[in-house]
A and B are shown apart, each in its own frame.
Chain A
Amino acid sequence: MDSEDEMSMHDANDAESLDDDFYSGDGADSDEADITMDYEFIDNDSDDSDDFPSHHRSQLNYTVLGEADILQRQEEYITQVSMVLSISRIAASILLRHYNWCVSRVNDEWFADEEKVRRVVGLLEYPVPLPDAKEVTCGICFEMYPCDMMRSAACGHPFCVTCWQGYMSSSINDGPGCLMLRCPDPSCCAAVGQDMINALALREDKDKYKRYFLRSFIEDNRKTKWCPAPGCEFAVDFIVGSGSYDVNCRCSYSFCWNCTEEAHRPVDCGTVAKWILKNSAESENMNWILANSKPCPKCKRPIEKNQGCMHITCTPPCKYEFCWLCLGAWSDHGERTGGFYACNRYEAAKQEGVYDEAEKRREMAKNSLERYTHYYERWATNQSSRQKALADLSQMQAVHLEKLSDIQSQPESQLKFIIEAWLQIVECRRVLKWTYAYGFYLPEHEQAKRQFFEYLQGEAESGLERLHQCAEKELQGYLNAEGPSKDFNEFRTKLAGLTSVTRNYFENLVRALENGLSDVDSHGACSRAASSKSLGGGSSKARGTRGKAAASKSSSSRMDDSGHWSSSLLWKNLVSDRPAGAVMKLADTVKTMLDVGLPVGHILGQMRTEGRWKDATR
């Protein structure tokens, strides 16, 4: 039995039962309705063991098209138009190209004014035969030729075969405009169709023309786009106006159909564009960051990061273990401390000032570049970690899986959980990367949101590090083993569990950020009334206070005065998938505070300044 399923089932049930009492008597709020639906999403998703854990197959609003699919569709369109309009397939394809492959547009225009359409597109109703003479002069080379050496479009303007070939060649080599080729006679606009190209053009030109013809179907059509991944030849047909723009190509690249940048949930296209522009503007200042090495905080030798995980061990004899991001000792980072990494916390890093680098940075604390640097560095680090994870994934699929299967005497089908873990890592690195652009644009004055955001991000980061560590370093042990390891099944359970937990956490995180952290009140002030309401339900279990929280929420409008994210709703969202053990110890602590009605941002800040953070989470 797969423990992942067990766990998910349990959590999904848990979540549903919570929703039931939470929402009884208050079904009007649309936001809340959304979240209920989201739970059902998770429920569905956790049951299927899919290669793409973060995508909901049943909900796809796009189709990935390979070359064969494209050609087939193209043929279908041409057949349809040729039948409805009773015209040749060549004429139908000329029309379709002219009207951007929109069948309904072709029909509309044609039946509204056939004569005009024929004129515009260059389709003659009655073909004109070649001049009735023994010899004719070619209008291009001025040579006389016997009539059977001459060819013409439907207009009858004769040109010799060689000149046609040259004419087609120069047009085809000029670009996709060759698809609209007309008779060479300057006063004539008769279309030159693919039949003539096939009969007269050079082989290489014919091939190029065919390519343009295929491309036109994707590029001129508003519903389709090519996958932007380098070298990828798939296209995506998207149902415009159907929600999320995220598209997952068959080549495994995910991109945003709207702006064709790499998939960037939870940030929107505008933010991505701003961020990319910002990066290019700042790139000169950023060069030093892009350098792939950092000095070891202990021995100062330059260390190159060669693994995806942030846990770095300096080369012997130093062997100092530290965190790549903040250069802090790894002993302050590990699971022992509850899995919380302070390194994502920009404000905290400034206050700590433990290392020289941090000292130097503090001097420029007011410098906005420093602020940008903070986010950019983490954005870029996650980007390269993601690239590394992708490479590791393909290495895993190509080499290691088979080796592991041999060593551990496990059929490869039983090792799918490893691939799933790596796919999840890749996806999480992507999300995490974009949370840094999100953080950069989150207004400074929205204190409560910022604090909460950083907290969520920190949790996401530590969850992912845990998964990454397990999939990278722990797996190594089983790969290097002499024979089957006794605890391999435990490893399977652990990695599959971590994958599932991390997936849910990230999905919820994305939703929370996409909603603009709308459950966090932006004012950051703590209201007594709200606190006492929450206090009334004062158990340490969240479910005990649900009803109260809901009451306080529904009794006031959206502008709740409670001074923190008003109900435990969002929290419940984020930690709904609670695993056993240490994973959510910190979560428990903060949750308890929430249940007691304390504003979490305030508490987090206080704990941090008092240095009680780590104690409290033990």
Chain B
Amino acid sequence: MATNSNLPRRIIKETQRLLSEPAPGISASPSEENMRYFNVMILGPAQSPYEGGVFKLELFLPEEYPMAPPKVRFLTKIYHPNIDKLGRICLDILKDKWSPALQIRTVLLSIQALLSAPNPDDPLSENIAKHWKSNEVEAVETAKEWTRVYATGA
């Protein structure tokens, strides 16, 4: 509990708002032991290969937050050109485009948007990106298959 004792007001406010007015298709709740660690679930957006899937993520707010971005990664396996085997996400606002005026909510919304619009030109996973560019129909089929196998009924 010691880690939670001097939690900045901002984190408390963000957490309260995440719980009281959750964004559609997104849930994020802090872990009981560590208020900087969030269990996140994102629903696969409609009309995307991830539709029908429930994707688990973990989100951690480092000591420097909000001057430094939160650390986020997928726990559920996902076939996506901007997400690698370890679930790490290639998203500009999680790196150099981070701004302290962004929030957990905006980050999760951006990740949801990334599921709707994969960007194979800025890939994290070379193989998947190649697949996406050479044969999008087949790649989308694989993504759907993975969604069915790994992201449903979990």
Majority secondary structure, B binding face:
loop
Known: A142-B10, A166-B67, A170-B64. 9 other contacts (CB 8 A): A141-B8, A141-B10, A142-B14, A157-B101, A163-B100, A184-B100, A184-B101, A186-B93, A186-B101
Q: Is the CB of A169 within 8 A of B67?
A: yes
A114 at interface (Cβ–Cβ under 8 A)? no
**Sampled A-B contacts (25; CB under 8 Å):** A139-B101, A140-B66, A141-B9, A142-B9, A142-B10, A142-B13, A142-B14, A157-B101, A159-B101, A163-B100, A166-B67, A166-B100, A169-B67, A170-B64, A170-B67, A170-B68, A177-B96, A184-B101, A185-B99, A185-B101, A186-B93, A186-B97, A186-B101, A186-B102, A186-B106
**Which A residues touch B101, using CB under 8 A?**
139-140, 157, 159, 184-186
Q: Quick one: given A186-B99, A186-B102, are A140 and B68 in contact (CB under 8 Å)?
A: no
**Which A residues touch B67, using CB under 8 A?**
166-167, 169-170
8 Å CB interface, B29-83 against A: 64, 66-68
A335 at interface (Cβ–Cβ under 8 A)? no
A143 at interface (Cβ–Cβ under 8 A)? yes
**CA–CA, A170 to B68, complex, Å?**
8
Interface string of A174-187 (1 = CB under 8 A from B): 00010000001110
Q: Is the CB of B9 within 8 A of A167?
A: no
Interface centre among A141, A163, A185, A186 (most CB of B within 10 A): A186
**Which A residues touch B99, using CB under 8 A?**
184-186
**CA–CA, A186 to B14, complex, Å?**
17
**Which A residues touch B100, using CB under 8 A?**
140, 163, 166-167, 184
**CA–CA, A184 to B101, complex, Å?**
6
Query: Sorted from nearest, which 8 A-B pairs have the closest CB atoms?
Result: A170-B67, A139-B101, A140-B100, A186-B99, A184-B101, A142-B13, A142-B10, A185-B101
**Which A residues touch B68, using CB under 8 A?**
170
The minimal Cβ–Cβ distance linking B2 to chain A, given in whole angstroms, is: 22
8 Å CB interface, B87-133 against A: 93, 96-97, 99-102, 106
The minimal Cβ–Cβ distance linking B6 to chain A, given in whole angstroms, is: 14
**Which B residues touch A170, using CB under 8 A?**
64, 67-68
Interface string of A186-199 (1 = CB under 8 A from B): 10000000000000
The minimal Cβ–Cβ distance linking B117 to chain A, given in whole angstroms, is: 18
**CA–CA, A186 to B94, complex, Å?**
12
**Which B residues touch A177, using CB under 8 A?**
96
8 Å CB interface, A131-160 against B: 139-143, 157, 159
**CA–CA, A159 to B99, complex, Å?**
13
**Which B residues touch A139, using CB under 8 A?**
101
Beta-carbon nearest neighbor of B98 in chain A:
A186
**CA–CA, A159 to B10, complex, Å?**
13
Beta-carbon nearest neighbor of A164 in chain B:
B100
**Which B residues touch A169, using CB under 8 A?**
67
**Which A residues touch B10, using CB under 8 A?**
140-142
Q: Is the CB of A143 within 8 A of B64?
A: no
* Size class of the A contact interface (CB-based, 8 Å): 10 to 19
B-contacting residues of A (Cβ < 8 Å)?
139-143, 157, 159, 163, 166-167, 169-170, 177, 184-186
Interface string of B1-16 (1 = CB under 8 A from A): 0000000111001100
**CA–CA, A490 to B13, complex, Å?**
89
The minimal Cβ–Cβ distance linking A163 to chain B, given in whole angstroms, is: 7
**Which A residues touch B97, using CB under 8 A?**
186
Beta-carbon nearest neighbor of B96 in chain A:
A177
The minimal Cβ–Cβ distance linking B99 to chain A, given in whole angstroms, is: 5
**CA–CA, A186 to B69, complex, Å?**
13
Interface centre among B14, B64, B66, B97 (most CB of A within 10 A): B66
Q: Is the CB of A143 within 8 A of B9?
A: yes
**Which B residues touch A143, using CB under 8 A?**
9
**CA–CA, A159 to B67, complex, Å?**
13
**CA–CA, A142 to B8, complex, Å?**
10
Beta-carbon nearest neighbor of B13 in chain A:
A142
Beta-carbon nearest neighbor of A159 in chain B:
B101
Beta-carbon nearest neighbor of A187 in chain B:
B101
**CA–CA, A167 to B68, complex, Å?**
9
Interface centre among B67, B93, B106 (most CB of A within 10 A): B67
The minimal Cβ–Cβ distance linking B65 to chain A, given in whole angstroms, is: 10
**CA–CA, A169 to B67, complex, Å?**
9
Interface centre among B64, B66, B68, B101 (most CB of A within 10 A): B101
The minimal Cβ–Cβ distance linking A15 to chain B, given in whole angstroms, is: 62
Beta-carbon nearest neighbor of A141 in chain B:
B10
**CA–CA, A384 to B99, complex, Å?**
52
Beta-carbon nearest neighbor of A157 in chain B:
B101
**Which B residues touch A159, using CB under 8 A?**
101
Beta-carbon nearest neighbor of A139 in chain B:
B101
The minimal Cβ–Cβ distance linking A183 to chain B, given in whole angstroms, is: 8
**CA–CA, A159 to B66, complex, Å?**
13
The minimal Cβ–Cβ distance linking B19 to chain A, given in whole angstroms, is: 16
**Which A residues touch B9, using CB under 8 A?**
141-143
**CA–CA, A413 to B52, complex, Å?**
90
**CA–CA, A351 to B20, complex, Å?**
91
The minimal Cβ–Cβ distance linking A155 to chain B, given in whole angstroms, is: 12
The minimal Cβ–Cβ distance linking A434 to chain B, given in whole angstroms, is: 42
**Which A residues touch B14, using CB under 8 A?**
142
**Which A residues touch B13, using CB under 8 A?**
142
Beta-carbon nearest neighbor of B17 in chain A:
A142
**CA–CA, A8 to B96, complex, Å?**
63
**Which B residues touch A157, using CB under 8 A?**
101
**CA–CA, A177 to B95, complex, Å?**
13
**Which A residues touch B64, using CB under 8 A?**
170
Beta-carbon nearest neighbor of B8 in chain A:
A141
**CA–CA, A204 to B14, complex, Å?**
31
**CA–CA, A186 to B102, complex, Å?**
7
**CA–CA, A470 to B122, complex, Å?**
66
Beta-carbon nearest neighbor of B97 in chain A:
A186
**Which A residues touch B106, using CB under 8 A?**
186
**CA–CA, A157 to B100, complex, Å?**
13
8 Å CB interface, B132-146 against A: none
The minimal Cβ–Cβ distance linking B35 to chain A, given in whole angstroms, is: 16
Beta-carbon nearest neighbor of B102 in chain A:
A186
**Which B residues touch A140, using CB under 8 A?**
10, 66, 100-101
**CA–CA, A49 to B10, complex, Å?**
71
**CA–CA, A177 to B93, complex, Å?**
16
**CA–CA, A186 to B66, complex, Å?**
13
**CA–CA, A35 to B68, complex, Å?**
63
The minimal Cβ–Cβ distance linking B67 to chain A, given in whole angstroms, is: 4
**Which B residues touch A185, using CB under 8 A?**
99, 101
